[in-house]
Chain A
């Protein structure tokens, strides 16, 4: 067993067998807001923050999380930026089916923490790895700009 810090709380978890962090979050900690999309680092649905950096939890070994601060969609609202992102997402009615949106919110929160006034190019560079099958990209961009304007 290993101890990992998720959303500010220490948890004892089983990281054996090279299991990805996503499995630990969902199956052991029951933090099911982080989604499984592709399992191949291709879609971004499983994005969490590792020390503030967006990371694909489906390919990130849980053992590598030891000693780092993990933030998931359940915890991002505890940050000022995360709260703003969630509010903007609600105001702009961004989600369609919603499946990709945990990852979108995590990617947007990291972008805005790093760069409070992102250009369209900055948004593309930061968000291009988060795929939305419902095509909510225009609303995602609007929501990010609305926060940058505040």
Chain B
């Protein structure tokens, strides 16, 4: 039951309208599947537990000899079924967003203890340029991209940050 709840997207509206479109991206399966609060990732738009009982591992790259990179290469496979981008891995547990409301995610990504010690600028840089984040807009066969276009997402991030990153 608890896992079922975690598997669902929270989808709650942010208090700040400036964060709402950003939240719609961060709460999308493309982000949440690897920003989990469990010791395993999820996959697909239905967010099922990753096949083959894949685990998070000590550093988010899987078990010592069953690493994410055993299957996930630097690009999607030609048929698009197996997704890939550079350094495929899970976000650390401290950056798990499953079960959080939009406002809670907004606070979490600005909290250095829950964002990998990043400044707001560095958080924006991650969301605007990380190959893993950018992959979300070219997710391959059978997977939807986030509901906001990538260039619009960048504009939304800039507007939100310029307004003081309200939650």
Contacts and interface: CB of A to CB of B under 8 A. Distances in A.
Interface range for A: 20 to 34
Nearest to A52: B65
Interface stretch (A3-11, A56-64, A89-97, A135-143): A56-64
A4 B95 CA distance: 39
A42 interface: yes
A53 B67 contact: yes
Interface stretch (B46-54, B110-118, B144-152, B157-165): B46-54
Interface in A63-117: 64, 107, 110-111, 113-115
Interface of A: 18, 40-42, 47, 53-56, 59-61, 64, 107, 110-111, 113-115, 122, 124-129, 131
Most buried by A among B55, B63, B82: B63
Looking at chain B's contact residues, is the secondary structure mostly helix, strand, loop, or mixed?
A: loop
Contacts of B1: none
Nearest to A111: B65
Given A41-B82, A42-B51, A59-B82, A128 B66 contact: yes
A114 B63 CA distance: 11
Contacts of A107: 65-66
A59 B73 contact: yes
